[in-house]
Amino acid sequence: MKTAINKTMPSSAEGMSRVDGRLKVTGAAKYSAEYTPKGLTYGVLAGSTITKGNIIAIDTKAAERAPGVLAVITHLNAPKVPGDQPEKGKAADAKGALKVFYDDKIYYNGQPVAIVVADTFERALFAASLVKAQYKTEKHITSLPDNRDKGFPPRGEGTYKRGTEDAWKLAPFKVEQEYIVPTVTHNPMELHAIIANWDTDNKLTVWDKTQGVKDTQGDLAHLFKLPKENVQVHSQFVGGAFGSALRTWPHEVAAILAAKVVKRPVKVVLSRADMFTSVGYRPFTWQKIGIGATADGKLTGITHEAAGQTSSYENFTEGPTGVSQSLYACPNVNTKYHLVALDIATPTWMRGPGEATGAFALESALDELSYQLKLDPVELRLRNYAQTDPGSGKPFSSKFLNEAYQLGSDHIGWKDRKQEPGTVKQNGWYVGYGMGGGMFGAYRAGATIRAKFNADGTLLLQSAVSDIGPGTGTAMVLIAAEQLGIPAEKIRFELGDSSLPNAPTQGGSATTASVGSAVYKACADLKEKFQKLAGNGATNNPDYTKILKDSGLPSLEVVSETDGGNGMQKYAMNSWSVHFVKVLVNAATGVVKIDKVACVSDCGKVISPKTARSQVIGGAIGGLGMALMEESIIDHRYGRYINNNFADYHVPVNADIPQIDALFVNKPDPIINPMGAKGMAEIALIGMAAAVANAVYNASGKRVRDLPITPDKVMA
């Protein structure tokens, strides 16, 4: 079951709308929970009510007797997951992903202890409430600040040293401060969902919310010991993910097990509360920055320590100290990163993973240093501009961050900023300006495209890539239209199906660079084939339909594959950003109001300006949420989230969002791929939280280092 998206509106390089826009706004786009295979049943998870311990008894009789219930599955009766079993003669892995219904151990509050399957969702939901477990509890720990002394270095990411350790301490001007990024939960509009069906005993079909259908196919084939071709994954549309759908989670395995038991399709849709415990989150991270400079603003040393939380059963790392190693020219840098294992579910990547967390600390500390030096924050960054990669010494494939500084400062009205905090006031509100920069690796992976040019002048492109919302299909159509010189409305892009040609998971801001390179090559291969068909009649502007007609062919097809390129062996490849923010801070209440935002991206050539602007605005809004309101709060007495809903977990809404202007340097990168495009999704958020915090200080004189920036902290 494949979905093709095609251009239906007038196209131009500057104004082309999303190729799937009409499907989405009319409701024709089908998401994973909206399919209705014959015999569909409904599964609801029952979660642990304790945080650590063991199940000593579980009573499912009332649930089993409830109307419409087909099965109640626990660790006592669940089918074995072959991939979860230790290999013969080998011990089980000491740490790894949670094995659902594997044994009686409880690792976190809300861990699935049962799945109830019924003929309607409402009946399954009611019956799940009847499952009662008895536990032997153990003392749990869920607070990172209270347990930082239990930290340990992750393998390969613990320490880094360049030059002299702690050199910042000898500088005439220096700052040392601690910064907190709390747990932040993915809360996309679309809840995570899966429909699982065993077509035969060894053939599985799933409709799943995933950022990578090929990776999900591989995971499920491994877990259930099936040939890859016997696992079919559909994920045509994804309603936002931000990183939460980058891996296979326990609820997906639970649905597949349930489908095997009831021998019918089973749908599992997580509740909003489940989203806080089942699909990862940005981990709570403590950081300390020591940074020093000479009187003229040249950095002499940076020390960056960080401790991030992980689960007790799996080590998750995101490397928040990396930005301090690479963002600025500094001869002496040392970093240390520790993990703290807590009785919580495993974190995962969240938009701008690592860099977003680290940039909040680094860019806040640099701003604090600028006030000591009485130096404009932009000028301080320019005086420490890295012309080559500070860590590796490699040249950058491209870097125009200095131009981004100029674009953003001009656009926001930076000249109106006063260096002295709390000196500008209008209508009872203090006015302040802040900025923060960011970087993220520019990546490219291998991909394959099947391209079929038909005699009616239409082109079909096929790829297994997912599209979680950035407009991947639109970018691919634009690349093909430009390369072949045909109207965009003649092109369809088919995606989100594991039976289609290989594509990487959509993550790490690498999709356009990766899949776009394969589209580019497919178009070149098609043109070469057409030229051979045309022979001596070949021209620079061929009539493809005429060539097919003259050749008596209904279509021409190629399957084109590209690798990840070898540029990273010789060059350091990054995308860069800078965010400028104007804020208003209420003098009486401490309320922070965002007045204006200018986001500038140095991300190579912009392929699809309209969707690129939308993507940057979305990332900026995520950064504003991170700065001002998002925080998942645990009652540590019970190890349980207390704001696991949309009433108490605050995200930015329309009333919170000001004018956001997305600006682009828009200069092609000559190395990374033939289009010259680099990723922009991550840098749209990285640095934004610091920009807001720095603006709040400039407005009010109050430095908030513990996110989110709430009125009580401003007034403290």
Q: Which residues are catalytic?
A: 682
Question: What tokens were used for 488?
Answer: 């965009």
370 contacts: CB under 8 Å, gap ≥ 6? 376, 377, 380
Compute the distance between CA of residue 280 and CA of residue 360 in angstroms, rounded to an integer: 21
Neighbours of 580 (CB within 10 A): 29
Q: DSSP string covering 385-427, please?
A: --SB-TTT-PBBS---HHHHHHHHHHHHTGGG--SSTT--EET
Q: Is 336 helix (H, G, I), strand (E, B) or coil?
A: strand
Is the Cβ–Cβ distance between 696 and 708 less than 8 Å? no
Q: Is 260 helix (H, G, I), strand (E, B) or coil?
A: helix
Q: DSSP string covering 109-170, please?
A: TT-EEEEEEESSHHHHHHHHTT-EEEEEE------SGGGGGG-BPPTTTSEEEESSTTGGGG
Q: What is the distance between the terminal CA atoms of the chain, rounded to a whole angstrom?
A: 57
Q: Where are the beta strands (DSSP E) in 487-534?
A: 491-495
| Residues 344/350/353/358 CA torsion (nearest 10 deg) | -70
Compute the distance between CA of residue 357 and CA of residue 35 in angstroms, rounded to an integer: 37
118 contacts: CB under 8 Å, gap ≥ 6? 41, 42, 44, 66, 67, 68, 69, 70, 124, 127
Q: Which segments of 209-319 does DSSP mark as H helices, in order?
A: 213-223, 250-262, 275-278
Matching residue, tokens 């490849």 = 573
Is the Cβ–Cβ distance between 596 and 657 less than 8 Å? no
Q: Which residues pair with 555 in a beta bridge?
A: 454
Is the Cβ–Cβ distance between 407 and 665 less than 8 Å? yes
**Phi, psi (deg, nearest 5) at residue 2:** -115, 150
Q: Is 55 helix (H, G, I), strand (E, B) or coil?
A: strand
Compute the distance between CA of residue 657 and CA of residue 271 in angstroms, rounded to an integer: 27
Compute the distance between CA of residue 469 and CA of residue 615 in angstroms, rounded to an integer: 8
Is the Cβ–Cβ distance between 43 and 117 less than 8 Å? yes
Is the Cβ–Cβ distance between 274 and 213 less than 8 Å? no
CA dihedral for 487, 489, 495, 500, sign (positive or negative): negative
Nearest to 683 by CA among 411, 399, 452: 399
Compute the distance between CA of residue 87 and CA of residue 70 in angstroms, rounded to an integer: 33
Spell 631-655 as b/e; 16+ CB within 10 A means b.
bbebeeeebbbebbeeeebbebeee
